[in-house]
Structure 1
């Protein structure tokens, strides 16, 4: 007769299966805000090519004062093309023609506004008056140039012959007038720009070969973090970044909304940091940097929020004792919370003791 064998019950195994596993944490003494470290990347500012709207047939660079990493602002001399100086101005320009005395239009007014932003005391009246011509002449003179002139033909006159019987038409001698060349000005969309590259003497300028390439706007640092890290930091926190083996202070200016992670990015939030532009000018865009929240404040007793319990008698934790038996109830007062921890006071707990979670 076949029977069924059964192994004897292992009481130790059953006891282990039914036992409650205790999870404990240490009582720590430190600032409540723990250090948070993550990685970000340097983002480039917007790039712009500086090319005059009008160019001569032989647009050869005759002077090249710029170098890479120079910073230019309004009324900066950025080079000369065919012996005509070229100046960068912040703001909007619409230089589609050369301008001479008494010309009017919106292009005139925008140029006058540019002159005013550079410190010239003129009116933005949309009319090329003497003050506007003088401002342009002063600008040219600063870098060793004079306003160019062009020939104007005076109207012919009709005069009688000496015998009074006939009339003859006489041409007046050709005259010249100064004018403001359209090619002398380019616009930068901002108060200043950083030079990335500049054409050299002898280079030929075109739309594909600009007089200079600049970036406008400050470079910044962007970090993609998960939701728990984004919830743990605040724009009021202080941060540092390790950039090219140098520690620099950075400021968290914005915490982005949650992004599902398109184009291969991990899901999370983008943190946007501002940084002193001079500190990262020489660091290539896209460089990875280490960001860390600066821990400040006095050290205090902290426990995980999961250790805090509450009932009708008050708030407490369960301290694990060295003796066998139930853990000891210890009353605590919560001072503040943050980052998943609670700072506690008015308690008999000591640093290094264990509490149940």
Structure 2
């Protein structure tokens, strides 16, 4: 190819193509390839489905009649979240000649602990549970006053004690009721040598009781013999065995003061299945299924990491599962189990509000395109249960469109 040349006006002119016949040959080849492609494409056979369609005819869409459950259960996975615990240790109060062995046990693991219950005894001295609304911080004697006295008397009255006033002053009548509680478990109140005051003590309803004169052994309430409960629901998680040597570690008793729960993260799509009060079925390895009720649904959070966005659902752990460790995986399901029924896609039903029918495609005794009246029993999850009297059977084919 020749190089370009500049004319007198300074304009560069491109050279002539040396072989113009090459351009003509290239154009002829392109036209030939296009023609061959058109001829081959026109010669290929059309599929039966395409052959039967006009340019403006909609495609035929069909579905099979099935035997299936139309009410699916919503199933999510949660974990056990352990409730608060309270450890009761041993407060050494025995003399040098006493070995603090556990001599008796009155509760077992998993048992709810009631106000007034006998828990255990160390070296022959009891520990009795009392539900108090204020802490008992000292041993109590006749004449003591304060909020702790009222708390003790209220718990004593709730445990069955009578014939004393619930107030902020401990009287001989209160001491007598406490003695009855201790004796009901086979023990007596501890005593100490005192010189009684000369002033009489006022008891219930203004009655007066005068203690004996002189130095005597007098009953008192040892605060270390009381297991103080601060919640209405307390469960024994672990208790020392008879013959164990009591010490500060390990604790004598471990109590669950707040129930364990199952916590489940649900997405926006699952919210409607888990309202507060919804009944759910809990399943976990090694345990029988239990029925529980949703107690709380938290606020929506964005999540993060492996935690998806959604809400936390709280379900109290059943009592029979109280010993499940924290983090145990639990399967939570809601909704009724459903047996397989005769079902078709909901979109196959025509005139659903008046006289429902379907358009058949391949149904015994009917031609394609026939209308077949159906009786709808129930709808759920995009499916409709059809009464078997409609004449459809699993495997039949019906039209979705047109």
TM-score, with structure 1 as normaliser: 0.72
Q: CA separation of 1:259/1:175 partners in 2, compared to 1, >3 Å: closer, same or farther?
A: same
- Alignment-derived partner of residue 86 in structure 2: 48
C-alpha separation in 2, matches of 1:92 and 1:203: 28
> 2:178 matched to 1:142?
no
- Equivalent of 1:130 in 172, 178, 189: 172
- Alignment-derived partner of residue 354 in structure 1: 397
3-state DSSP class of the match of 1:110?
helix
C-alpha separation in 2, matches of 1:107 and 1:356: 80
Q: CA separation of 1:29/1:346 partners in 2, compared to 1, >3 Å: closer, same or farther?
A: closer
Greater helix fraction, Structure 1 or Structure 2: 2
C-alpha separation in 2, matches of 1:286 and 1:46: 14
Q: How many residues align?
A: 337
Gaps of 5+ in 1: 157-171
Gaps of 5+ in 2: 1-24, 199-212
Checking the alignment, whether the CA contact within 8 Å between 1:68 and 1:195 is kept in structure 2 is yes
Q: CA separation of 1:304/1:291 partners in 2, compared to 1, >3 Å: closer, same or farther?
A: farther
> 2:77 matched to 1:39?
yes
- Alignment-derived partner of residue 203 in structure 1: 246
CA drift at 1:24: 4.3
Checking the alignment, whether the CA contact within 8 Å between 1:237 and 1:294 is kept in structure 2 is no
3-state DSSP class of the match of 1:78?
strand
- Alignment-derived partner of residue 88 in structure 1: 129
- Alignment-derived partner of residue 222 in structure 2: 181
C-alpha separation in 1, matches of 2:370 and 2:342: 18
- Equivalent of 1:339 in 368, 373, 381: 381
C-alpha separation in 1, matches of 2:186 and 2:347: 75
Checking the alignment, whether the CA contact within 8 Å between 2:110 and 2:237 is kept in structure 1 is yes
> 2:303 matched to 1:261?
yes
Checking the alignment, whether the CA contact within 8 Å between 2:362 and 2:398 is kept in structure 1 is no
Q: Could you tell which deviates more after superposition, 125-134 or 35-44? A: 35-44
Q: Note the alpha carbon deviations across 1:304-349, whole angstroms, 9 max, x for none.
A: 33434559986544433379x9755445565543333334569845
Checking the alignment, whether the CA contact within 8 Å between 1:77 and 1:86 is kept in structure 2 is yes
C-alpha separation in 2, matches of 1:73 and 1:21: 73
Q: Could you tell which deviates more after superposition, 306-315 or 239-248? A: 306-315
Q: Could you tell which deviates more after superposition, 117-126 or 56-65? A: 56-65
3-state DSSP class of the match of 2:113?
strand
Checking the alignment, whether the CA contact within 8 Å between 2:363 and 2:397 is kept in structure 1 is no
Q: Choose 1 or 2 for highest CA Rg.
A: 2
3-state DSSP class of the match of 2:220?
strand
- Alignment-derived partner of residue 163 in structure 1: none
- Equivalent of 1:194 in 235, 245, 253: 235
TM-score, with structure 2 as normaliser: 0.65
